[in-house]
Structure 1
Amino acid sequence: MARGALCRGSRKGFTLLEVMVAMAVLAIAGMSVMGMVRESISNTQYLAEKRPAFWVAENAMTDIVLSQRWPGREWQKSSTVLAEREWFIRSRKVKTGSDDLIMLEVEVRQKKDSESALASLQTYVLDS
Structure 2
Amino acid sequence: MTPEEFPRAFAAGWIARDADALAALLSEDADMLSLTGAWVEGRKAILATLKAELSGLFSRARLVTGRSKLRPMGPGAAVLHQRFVLSGLVDEEGRDMGRIGALLIATLVARPEGWQAVALQFSATEG
Q: Which has the higher strand share?
A: 2
Q: Which has the higher helix share?
A: 1
Higher normalized contact order (CA 8 Å, seq sep 6+, divided by chain length):
2
Verify same fold: TM over 0.5: no
TM-score normalised by length of structure 2: 0.33
